[in-house]
Amino acid sequence: MKNSNFIKVILLLVCAVVTVPSMAQFNLKKAISGATKVVSAATLTDEQMTEYVAEYIDWMDKHNQVCADDNEYTIRLKKLTEGLTDADGIPLNFKVYYVIDVNAFACADGSVRVFSSLMDIMTDEELLGVIGHEIGHVAHRDSKKGFRTALLTSALKDGISSQGGKAAALTDSQIGDLTEALVNARYSQKQECDADDYGYEFLKKAGKNPWSMALSFQKLKKLQEESGAQGTSKLNQLFSTHPDLDLRIKRMEERATEDGIEKPASATTAAE
């Protein structure tokens, strides 16, 4: 475990640390020495944005332990997300990071990454709620807008260089700055509510039980209460506390009830 090269920004639940001591922490940034020279250039284009998103998720996959296809976490996630192929035309792909951090994220290109320790403490329904919400931000291009802002204000704050329209490659340091900016990014109340609504309809149309949205909010609230003063961690950013979490639970519960959808009798047991 490369302790000195990891930046810990996500709440680590004690139970996760105890039960999976062999996992690495989520690798956000590889420390390097020396300044990065970046040449100012033209406006960032959509094509360059696409290249940077691809480079970013490729770096993340290479620098974090991705569970193999025959791993129990991958098998569970694949079964859970069967039929979830695209979000408003954006193709989705799913992978599990074998890390002790409790989190999940979705990138602008439709790459969804779920952390194994989150899977350890959530039922299938709760996980679906997390995934549905994150996909809502992808479908509404919130993730794309947030990535562009983070890219220009952090990793490429001194400008970008390009030749023949091709984006300049990001250094490890720049990717680290970009990740930290994305971690600290906040969505507006409207964006959060819209992502909730999209997630609900997305799961419903895919044949999944949309009660998952309310169930995931309920689990998050429980985790917040258990974490106490540490509740400002990245775990809370799975669902921003604005608007109020209780109101979001109520909205999703009322919607599922009005649609006549039966609440799961019992949550599917999380993978051992």
- The DSSP code sequence of the chain is --GGG----S---HHHHHH-TTPBPP-------SPPP----SPPPHHHHHHHHHHHHHHHHHHS-BPPTTSHHHHHHHHHTTT--EETTEE-EEEEE-BSS--EEE-TTSEEEEEHHHHHHS-HHHHHHHHHHHHHHHHTTHHHHHHHHHIIIIITTT---EETTEEPPPPHHHHHHHHHHHHT----HHHHHHHHHHHHHHHHHTT--THHHHHHHHHHHHHHHHHGGGGGSGGGGGS-SSS-HHHHHHHHHHHHHHTTPPPPSSPPPPP-
* Residue among 51, 125, 126, 134 flagged as catalytic: 134
Annotation says 226 is catalytic:
no
Could you give the residue numbers annotated as active site?
134
